[in-house]
A and B are shown apart, each in its own frame.
Chain A
Amino acid sequence: MEEIILSIHDLQKSYGRKEVLKGVSLEVKRGEIIGYIGANGAGKSTTIKIMLGIESDYRGEVKIFGHDISNGDITYKRKIGYVPEIAEVYDNLTGHEYLTFIGEMYGLDFDLADYKAKSLMELFGIGEVYHSRIASYSKGMRQKLLIISSLLHNPELIFFDEPINGLDANSVMIFKEIMTQLAAQGKTIFYSSHIMDVVEKISSRIILLMDGKVVADGTFDELKEQNTEGSLEQIFNELTGFNEHKELGTRFVSVVGEM
């Protein structure tokens, strides 16, 4: 039997009176690339934040590497990497300072963290800004920095929340290749994005979240069988019950034309 890396059972979370997650359950096996999709506000980022311990105060059970994460033991985080949706970094540090700091937080030695960070920055084509302040980075550079910071410690389980935001087409290709090879090595990737064709191509399994609940879970082929439409984008539209895009588009354009 394949090893289960991550399991969530009946996860519920609310902010004040607003229920964000209404009983999410899922299981992830080693080596899978999970495409975690859903409309804005469906609860994707919240799920990820709970698994990382950024948000607490939830109901239900979350097990990572077989251990319940609510028991206060945080050693599980050593084997997790994370690219957050909103690129929050200490941007008055330089790339070198930030990455070595993050590496050391994961228990890496300073020199090793420095060596890895520098090499990875160079490979990603941003080696020349290693000693510049992050505040001066472009959007793409920041995103690359975040991706590197999530991988420095060679994690087993990686959460990518909109990781290719702002990356150019070539960098996206490098990134996709990185993901495929990581998965082949037995790393598990939890990938959340709005860009459907990337999700369609790289995910070994797709989970669709709507209004705080899982509404679809399976490989792309399985989803295709269950639905009449062809591409993941169309399946997404169909499952979320959205078919007004044409009409809304027409009305939008007509308002644009008003003078």
Chain B
Amino acid sequence: MQDYRTLKILDRFEKVFSNLGVDYKVMRRILQVKLTMDGRRVPTIFSQNSGKQVKETTNQYIKSLWIYVFFGLFLIPFILLGNHYLFQMSIFYGIFTIFIMTSLISDFSSVLLDIRDRNILYPKPVDRRTISTAKMVHVFIYLSFLTIALAGIPLIVGFIRHGFLFFILSFVNIIFIDLLIVILTAFIYMFILQFFDGEKLKDIINYVQIGLSLGIMVGYQLLIRSFDLFNFTITFQAKWWQLFIFPMWYGANTELVMNGNIQPLFILLTVLSVLIPLISIWVYIKLNPTFEQNLQKLTYHGKAKERKQSMINRFILKVLCPTKEERSFFRFASLMMKNERDFKLKVYPSLGFSIVIPFLFFINGINNDFEQLSKGNSYFSIYFSLIIIPTIIVLLKFSGKYKGAWIYKAAPIQQLKPMFSAVIKAFLFKLYLPVYLFLSVLFIWIFGVRILPDLLVVFINACIYAVLCFMMLPKTIPFSESFDYYNQNNKTAILLGLMVIVAVFAGLHYISTLIHFGIYLYLVIAIVGLALLWKAAFNISWENIEG
């Protein structure tokens, strides 16, 4: 186990910790173990393209910080812009808060919520104060890295642009904001655990992770396109709810100090900016024992209510899957897609992304010339939502709980056809259709009901596409491999080739709109094509299976 530079810096404060009654040597050792474990965890921000080639010595976490440095660069314009500190810095601190908080929840929850500590460390002759201080210092180390990565360069720019006073003020503000974020996150966990059990909390954390991944995917796209967003008009009107937006407190204190703009409201906000962090520290220390107690609930699995299938669902299922085997695989596959957290973390961001991409192509049109846009045929950009299909079909073979796959071998499964067709159906109806319906509603709102037949055609095309992808990609038993092997053998060429097919679909579709009633003809052809293709696609025996 390596010795960390961070710990060597910490060594200088040994006296401080000893005076607090902390066994420094033990705490240092605990931290060393924790940092080693952190290095082996793959941060969410990287999880989109993780491979097996993780090397022992390179800390994945430190590497992920570069992405935050990159995002930090986008904060610089808010500092350079001018002297409207209230406005600029409120946005600056707001974005900063969102980044730190999502990252804290998605990657550091495991630290805040680690109940192994309790079972592993409590029986050892180590006193509670040392354990809890180690936890605090651990969070502190993590937060300082993150904060420096994100705000370091912007602060230096601020120093050059606005001077030393600005730098010091921002520095102190950021420390206060960090404090507030940690305590706020702890309060949120405390709140959730008070009312729900651990499973619910894990779900919520999972959704934050999904949101972070999606946010980063979309963020790249938007940041590049959004520079014209910066010509905003700056008017400020005091509203009561602004009192609750804490990044604004810090914007206000910057305004107060830098511009000497002494308004009663600004004074109030400035007072809040100092007072609330201090009060929350005190409350946190008071409530920490309750928090630790509630953490025990993480292991507790409450009695869940039995969910009955509604008649409608049963009926739909019967229509979708005529045979019994197919129905049971469909049910299993949809449950896996809905409940397996690792799978969701990998797949749901892409689903979200497929909602966003079609809009990226006419985003400027929405603002400028809505009339013209809604009459045109930009709705063809909905075809871009298809490009996630091959990626997800590849992902269908993975699962965080891949070890459960022994059941396929143990159970007397003779025909693989129902299994594969059910999994593709489950993907189309449980994952793709909801996304597509949502997109359709938005598109109909923009382009009018006239595009309804087109939307139908696109969906049928999506189904055909999914089947084609399935046929061309190597076949593996669904949910049977570890995500560690994702991206191991590169299939980029196949995936790019498959994207060409989307273009062909879109082209044919476009030609059909040139003919009178051509779209309906195309619809009929597509449905027949899908039916024929479906019959042929899934005749697979065990010999065709890879791995």
Binding site for B on A (CB under 8 A): 52-54, 74-78, 80, 82, 84, 86, 88-90, 92-93, 97, 100-102, 104-107
Contact = CB atoms under 8 A, between A and B. Distances in A.
Given A92-B41, A93-B36, A105-B26, A78 B119 contact: no
B515 interface: no
A93 B33 contact: yes
A102 B124 CA distance: 8
Contact of B116 (A77, A80, A88, A107): A88
Contacts of B37: 90, 92-93
Contacts of A54: 118-119, 122-123
B121 interface: yes
22 contacts: A52-B122, A53-B122, A54-B118, A74-B126, A77-B124, A78-B125, A82-B123, A84-B119, A84-B123, A86-B119, A88-B116, A88-B120, A89-B116, A92-B37, A92-B40, A93-B37, A97-B1, A97-B33, A100-B1, A101-B33, A105-B121, A105-B124
Nearest to A82: B123
B57 to A, nearest CB: 14
B123 A106 contact: no
B29 interface: yes
B29 A105 contact: yes
Interface size class of B (residues with CB under 8 A): 20 to 34
B125 A77 contact: yes
Most A Cβ at <10 Å: residue of B29, B40, B120, B123: B123
B59 to A, nearest CB: 13
Contacts of B30: 105
B33 A106 contact: no
Nearest to B115: A88
Given A97-B1, A101-B33, A104-B29, A90 B125 contact: no
B14 interface: no
Given A54-B119, A84-B119, A90-B116, A97 B125 contact: no
Nearest to A86: B119
Interface of B: 1, 26, 29-30, 33, 36-37, 40-41, 116, 118-127
Nearest to B114: A90
Contacts of A105: 26, 29-30, 121, 124-126
Given A101-B29, A101-B33, A52 B123 contact: yes
A105 to B, nearest CB: 4
Contacts of A74: 125-127
Contact of B123 (A77, A97, A101): A77
A89 B29 CA distance: 16
A75 B117 CA distance: 19
Nearest to B119: A88
A93 B1 CA distance: 9
A104 B218 CA distance: 47
A47 B40 CA distance: 35
A90 B33 contact: yes
Contact of B125 (A92, A100, A107): A107
Given A54-B118, A88-B116, A75 B124 contact: no
Given A97-B36, A101-B29, A89 B125 contact: no
A93 B2 CA distance: 13
A80 B120 contact: no
A77 B125 CA distance: 5
A42 to B, nearest CB: 18
Given A89-B120, A101-B33, A107-B125, 5 more contacts: A75-B125, A86-B119, A93-B33, A97-B36, A104-B29
B132 to A, nearest CB: 14
Contacts of A102: 120, 124
B123 A80 contact: yes
Nearest to A94: B1
Contacts of A86: 119
Contacts of A78: 125
Contacts of B40: 92
